[in-house]
A = this chain, B = another copy of it.
């Protein structure tokens, strides 16, 4: 096998209460990549369509993540990578993570799987470091493992796959403004109130339990963020209206996707998730904000081989 064409899912990080630790993979939106072995050492980004992003290896997240893998591999050749971006950069649904994760996943397949998925997360995190200045794992982990993932710890890296009920659907609306993850991190405070922390870890515990128990109501009750959302939501047009609209339309919960500006909602059943999407659309139409909407199952497999 010399070439792979893959689907790299978009991902929702944080999932309200789980800032920097929780994430989930989507099925209905993601990039495509073609990764090909080459005799020439190193990584070449030979094509990049759909977004205006750098193709120099050391400036491209797929290049940087791929180089992190190559450094620990005894493979003497290199790889050519074509990236077909469907996920908009800066949308808050893991655009950089999809490219970073896709590159290292495909390279590992083509090399005969010398690395574990957990190790691939570490390589992909180097792409995240380039994109945002912080090597966070809450997008690359669900992209690589699929489903819901918990980053229990960063040092050492400890990723836990969390089962989830089959009727759980995500709706994501992306207002067409760009919020850079790096900027969105800067506005966070470095300290939080202990009382807010207690609420947050109560909700993380409740969300994890709700996912295991397939208890949709508990999942909904746990989808609150007392720490980051009150600050970051200021950067997102119409956030409060979209969130309350989603809840009125039947969503279990709603919050900021990753560092925003996308807003996500989780619902029980596809029909509700579609209704939530329609409600969100109307709100942005009324206030005159351009948007994309995605309604998606949770993706169980992570990155997938195409054709």
A contact set with B: CB distance below 8 Å: 17-22, 150-154, 158, 160, 162, 188-195, 197-210, 212, 218, 221-222, 227
Contact = CB atoms under 8 A, between A and B. Distances in A.
Given A209-B162, A212-B212, A153 B197 contact: no
Contacts of A19: 198, 201
Contacts of A202: 20-21, 150-154
B189 A194 contact: yes
A198 B19 CA distance: 7
B194 A191 contact: yes
Contacts of A22: 205
Contact of A205 (B188, B197, B198, B204): B204
A197 B197 contact: yes
Nearest to A193: B191
A205 B152 contact: yes
Nearest to A222: B152
Point out which of A188, A195, A208 has the most chain B C-beta atoms below 10 A from its C-beta.
Answer: A208
**Most B CB within 10 A of own CB, among A18, A19, A202, A222:** A202
3 closest Cβ contacts across the A-B interface? A152-B206, A201-B201, A201-B204
A192 B194 contact: yes
Nearest to A162: B209
A85 to B, nearest CB: 29
A21 B194 CA distance: 13
A18 B194 contact: no
A194 B201 contact: no
25 contacts: A20-B198, A20-B202, A21-B201, A21-B202, A22-B205, A150-B205, A150-B209, A152-B205, A152-B209, A152-B218, A152-B221, A153-B203, A162-B205, A162-B209, A188-B194, A189-B194, A191-B193, A197-B200, A197-B201, A197-B227, A200-B201, A201-B201, A201-B204, A204-B204, A208-B209
